[in-house]
């Protein structure tokens, strides 16, 4: 037991001492032990590697010395031969030692070969010059579509073809009614196209239509387009028709209809409808006041561009004259057709009142729609089965507008 204890104490002391010097003690003996056996093998391998490695560098300088020796043997003409056949023959004569030397003769011909590849590269550089010439026609090809695009941009000016020296030009300005919105073929069925065809037949000369109407425009939108240069070539016009003002009150009317439909589902629907109607009246009245001031500015812009062309404004028809729907305002049913007619009438009175002072003519479209007895639907809203009916003219409606304008332009 004592021996065991003594041994344990010795081991503990050794471990305690090794705790500080273990790296040195552990490395030196192990390193020496490991170096004793493996180092001989490593040295042997190193020596072998050293023996092999020097051989690789030795042949590198050797060919440099060997080449002159070979050149001496081959004579003075060997450099020229070394450039072509000699390198191929010498590696075959010295297959063992020349294996490292093979790259060097190959390198030397490669060094001499640049003289030959350079001319080879020069034709290659000349070859790109040919593709470049081939690319230039391709670059020239895009220039051919460019003229094709220019006619497309000039397409809006096609309504005034150059060949017709005696052609007269009619401008159609305004909103969606003038643009032919909701027609199957607006360019052929809108009233301005029908009017130019009638004028051409009447006058015996070609009339050309230029339509710059934009759906949704109010009088302020039209004024901004005129001031911003969106309407071009007005100085060439002989007749200018303007259909504007409906959206000044129609936008508030649409907002009211949406609010009315929503209010029907509220508990206090009567109050909600009354509030929506009050807002509608305020917005519509503001739209009328804006129309009054815009008319003065619109005419000033038209006269600035063209002092002599005749300008004709269209009165606005009542799009809901056949709609049999009542609006309940605080228990009082009001026909929506009558409500619509009241605000359309205010627009038309504004147009009529400003005409003498501003110097434009009037085409009484409102009266023509009210007096029509043909029975044909003139407005898409004549389908009274829906509340949110389309207020735009049908093809028959556009034909009637063209007739009214034709009479006004006599």
d(CA 323, CA 383): 8
Overall average pLDDT of the 194-217 stretch = 97
Yes or no: say if 61 and 68 are a contact pair by the CB < 8 Å rule.
Answer: no
More confident residue, 43 or 29: 43
pTM value is 0.60
Assess if residue 155 is contained within a domain.
no
CATH code assigned at 355:
3.40.50.1110
pLDDT bracket for residue 385 (50, 70, 90): low
Residue-wise pLDDT tens digits, 111-135: 434 444 444 444 344 444 444 443 4
Assess if residue 33 is contained within a domain.
no
**pLDDT in the model for residue 275:** 86
Residue-wise pLDDT tens digits, 61-108: 444 443 443 443 434 433 333 344 434 434 444 434 434 444 444 444
Assess if residue 379 is contained within a domain.
yes
Assess if residue 211 is contained within a domain.
yes
Yes or no: say if 391 and 381 are a contact pair by the CB < 8 Å rule.
Answer: yes
Instruction: Pinpoint the alpha helices (H) of 144-233.
Output: 145-154, 176-179, 186-189, 191-203, 219-228
Residue 24 has pLDDT above 60, yes or no: no
Overall average pLDDT of the 143-170 stretch = 47
Assess if residue 139 is contained within a domain.
no
d(CA 126, CA 128): 5
- Token pair in block for residue 288: 């009328």
Domain around 305 = 168-408
Assess if residue 238 is contained within a domain.
yes
Cα-based distances in Å from 161 to 148, 155, 235:
17, 10, 16
Strand pairing partners for 207? Answer: 168
Residue 265 has pLDDT above 70, yes or no: yes
Overall average pLDDT of the 161-175 stretch = 77
**Number of structural domains the chain divides into:** 1
Assess if residue 297 is contained within a domain.
yes
Assess if residue 85 is contained within a domain.
no
Strand pairing partners for 393? Answer: 379
More confident residue, 99 or 240: 240
**pLDDT in the model for residue 233:** 97
pLDDT averaged over every residue in the chain: 72
């Amino acid at each position: 037991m004592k021996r065991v204890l003594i041994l344990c104490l010795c081991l503990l002391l050794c471990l305690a001492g090794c705790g500080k010097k273990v790296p040195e003690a552990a490395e030196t003996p192990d390193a020496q032990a490991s170096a004793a056996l493996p180092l001989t093998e490593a040295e042997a391998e190193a020596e072998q590697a050293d023996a092999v490695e020097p051989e690789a560098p030795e042949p590198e300088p050797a060919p440099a010395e060997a080449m002159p020796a070979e050149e001496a043997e081959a004579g003075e003409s060997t450099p020229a031969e070394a450039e072509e056949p000699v390198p191929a023959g010498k590696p075959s004569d010295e297959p063992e030692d020349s294996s490292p030397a093979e790259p060097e003769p190959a390198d030397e011909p490669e060094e001499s070969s640049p003289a030959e590849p350079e001319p080879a590269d020069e034709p290659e550089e000349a070859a790109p010059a040919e593709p470049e010439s081939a690319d230039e026609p391709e670059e020239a090809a895009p220039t051919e579509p460019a003229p094709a695009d220019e006619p497309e941009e000039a397409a809006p000016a096609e309504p005034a073809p150059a060949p017709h020296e005696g052609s007269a030009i009619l401008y159609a300005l305004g909103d969606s009614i003038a643009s032919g919105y909701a027609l199957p073929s607006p360019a052929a069925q809108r009233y301005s196209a029908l009017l130019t065809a009638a004028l051409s037949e009447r006058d015996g000369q070609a009339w050309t239509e230029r339509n710059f109407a934009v759906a949704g425009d109010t009088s302020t939108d039209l004024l901004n387009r005129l001031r911003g240069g969106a309407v071009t070539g007005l100085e060439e016009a002989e007749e200018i028709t303007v259909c504007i003002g409906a959206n000044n009150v129609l936008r508030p009317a649409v907002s009211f209809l949406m609010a009315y439909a929503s209010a029907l589902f509220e508990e206090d629907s009567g109050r909600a409808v009354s509030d929506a109607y009050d807002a509608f009246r305020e917005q519509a009245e503001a739209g009328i006041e804006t129309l009054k001031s815009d008319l003065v500015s619109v005419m000033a812009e038209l006269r600035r561009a063209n002092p002599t062309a005749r300008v004709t404004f269209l009165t606005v028809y009542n799009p809901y004259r056949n709609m049999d729907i009542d609006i309940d305002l605080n228990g009082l049913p009001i026909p929506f057709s009558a409500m619509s007619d009241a605000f359309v009438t205010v627009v038309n009175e504004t147009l009529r009142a400003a005409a003498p002072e501003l110097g434009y003519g009037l085409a009484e479209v409102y009266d023509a729609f009210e007096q029509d007895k043909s029975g044909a639907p003139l407005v898409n809203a004549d389908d009274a089965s829906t509340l949110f009916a389309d207020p735009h003219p049908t093809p028959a409606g556009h034909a009637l507008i063209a007739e009214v304008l034709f009479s006004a332009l006599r």
